[in-house]
Amino acid sequence: MAPRYAPETMKRWQRRVAQTIGAVAVLVVLSSIAYHYTLVVIEGRSPSYFQSTQVVVEIFTGTGFGSDSPWETPFANILVIFLDLSTFLLLFIVLPYVFQPILEDRLTPTPPERTNLTDHVAIAGDRTGQTDRLLEEFDARGVPHVLLTADPDTALDRSEDGTAVVYGDPTESNALERANVDKARAVIVNTDSENVANCVLAVQELSVDVQIVAQVRDPSLQNPLKYAGADTILMPRRLLANRLAGRVRSLFDPRISDVLSISSEFALVETTVTEGSPFCGETLEAAGLDTASEVTVLGMWDDGDFVPSPPPETTLKANTSVLVAGPEERLQELETRLPETTATDGRVVIAGAGEVGSTVQQRLEQAGIDCTLVDRVDHENVDLQGDVTDEDVLRDADLSDAAVYVVAIGNNAEAILSILLARNLTSDTEIVARVNDSEIQSKARRAGANYVLSLPDISARLITMNVLKEDLLSYDRQVKILRIEGERLAGQTLDETPIGPTDAVLIAVERNGDLLTDLDADFEIETDDRLLIAGSDDALDAFEIAMHQ
């Protein structure tokens, strides 16, 4: 099969060929006239014009011209030398000029334009942070997937990294057809908000049966997308904002608990050990929070990373976040004891008046909590205009007197810098933060944040829950809690499973209607069991990868 070239490449090549043929023809005619004139007038010879033209063509093509040598006059020799050098002009300038478009087209890598995948997940659109997290989730579970992107450089880069990718506009039916969306199990619309409806309609043109999951920022798009044919409409930013607001409210109102109920007798809670807490400086064993106790620390964030099943001699440091399991009533009591006091009349400083920050402010003020909203731009609800990466601005916001500091700005680098400055100003204020990159979470905790949520993590959890039907018990917490069927590990003892090596932690096992929590390494998993596993997204991804190996 003859090689196929892009239409614009062929047009450019044809145009250059025509220009070159014309230019070479003019050069041959002018050179022949000059050479013929030199032989007749200066050398005193009498060749025909066609003989002179033949010699010039021989010079340009390098086939020789011995019949006319030698030349007697210096002028004739100089002319011949000039014509000889013109051969290099043709070889090294004209020919590359003509064939450059063809060579570039053949030698330059081109992004893939089609996939043969079936029963796969098609990701239409590429919003870098969220796309990366989605790809990791699908890779970990062995789910075939393809990314459709309109950026050729992105398509090439991701293809070189081993990602199945198709280059094309996600809002065009032709591109979606090349991504085999009509044979996909689901399509995730991951475009900018203004293109979401067009993408959904384009998918519907190809298949009315494929599941369509759309992510949007603007709540007003929910109904139009539903009418367009989207099966599920997700708003991760709104969910993230509500979760941050809920976390803050639980710190202010003792009637509001952040405890996650697993069963009537068992629950989980993420909480922070403050500097004034009676547990600060104590070991888990001394605090009665080790595995031998009714209330147990399943994991904790140490130096920014989640550490599962810390040993009893682990010391609880100030501003350490812990994941605690036990009876719900005991956990609710513990919520008020790990922090120094429950803030009942404090104030919240919110950095960033974007969608997340504004939503947090709205939810908290509806609950009667005083907020100070800080932003670079003087919006309607902004209380203080300024840059939260400026220490003086944080002082102007009276951050050291605030109970909670919510970092809701979208720039990761600025968020980290603001957390560092805030923690330097006050060791007592609870710092709650959002980040736009999963890899930044540990840095935010090292910088001093007590509670950190990642937008890409929440988005990926929601999508996998809807597309893969995963049984997630929590998708809006710092840790991910997953329920899996025991048949995948049946016959193995806990010591033989990949749970421990992947930094995940087994919370409990559901068996015959009972919730078993006191499990040792020799506990054998049965087919009908259901396992509750917790950990960071990376830990659970590593667990899924180990399960598929």
**Spatial CA neighbour of 238 closest among 482, 462, 536:** 462
Residue 424: Cβ within 10 Å count:
12
Percent of the chain with pLDDT over 90: 33
- In a domain? residue 441: yes
365 vs 163: CA distance, rounded Å? 45
Considering the domain architecture, whether residues 328 and 351 belong to the same structural domain is answered as no
- Per-residue three-class SS string for 83-96: HHHHHHHHHHHHHH
262: domain CATH number is: 3.30.70.1450
Q: What is the mean pLDDT of the chain?
A: 85
- For residue 60, what pLDDT is reported? 75
**Is a pLDDT exceeding 90 seen at residue 3?**
no
In a domain, 241, yes or no: no
Q: What average pLDDT score do residues 408-417 get?
A: 95
Residue 230 has pLDDT above 90, yes or no: yes
Give the C-alpha separation, 110 to 154, whole Å: 11
280 shares its domain with 321: yes
Q: Which two tokens stand for residue 220?
A: 């007003």
Is the domain of 449 the same as that of 402?
Answer: yes
pLDDT at residue 341, rounded to an integer: 46
The verdict on 134 and 180 lying in the same domain is yes
For the beta carbon of residue 512, count every other beta carbon within 10 angstroms: 8
Q: Find out whether 357 and 384 touch, Cβ atoms under 8 Å.
A: no
Domain co-membership, 355 together with 274 = no
Asked, for residue 342, whether it belongs to a domain, the answer is: no
Q: Examine the domain organization and report whether 483 and 402 are in the same domain.
A: no
Residues 371 and 438 in one domain: yes
End of a domain among 281, 306, 335? 335
Q: Which residue has the tokens 């932690």?
A: 505
- CATH code of residue 172: 3.40.50.720
Asked if residue 492 is part of any domain, the answer here is yes
Amino acid at 349: V
φ/ψ of residue 208, rounded to 5: -95, -5
- The CATH number of the domain where 72 resides is what? 1.10.287.70
261's CB contacts (< 8 A; 6+ apart) are 267, 328
Residue 381 lies in a domain: yes
- The confidence score (pLDDT) of residue 359 equals 93
Domain that holds residue 220: 121-234
Give the end of a domain, one of 285, 315, 335: 335
Are 451 and 352 part of one and the same domain? yes
Q: How many domains, the chain?
A: 5
My answer on whether 131 and 228 are in the same domain is yes
Global pTM value: 0.73
Is 35 part of a structural domain of the chain? Answer: yes
**Residue ending a domain, choose from 44, 73, 107:** 107
Same domain, 273 and 307: yes
Q: How confident is the model at residue 343 (pLDDT cuts 50, 70, 90)?
A: very low
Residue among 131, 125, 165 at smallest CA distance from 145: 165
* SS3 state of residue 142: coil
Q: Is residue 461 one of the residues assigned to a domain? A: no
Q: Is the pLDDT higher at 381 or at 406?
A: 406
Same domain for 386 and 366, yes or no, is yes
The verdict on 351 and 448 lying in the same domain is yes
- What percent of the chain clears pLDDT 70, i.e. is strictly above it? 90
Residue 115 lies in a domain: no
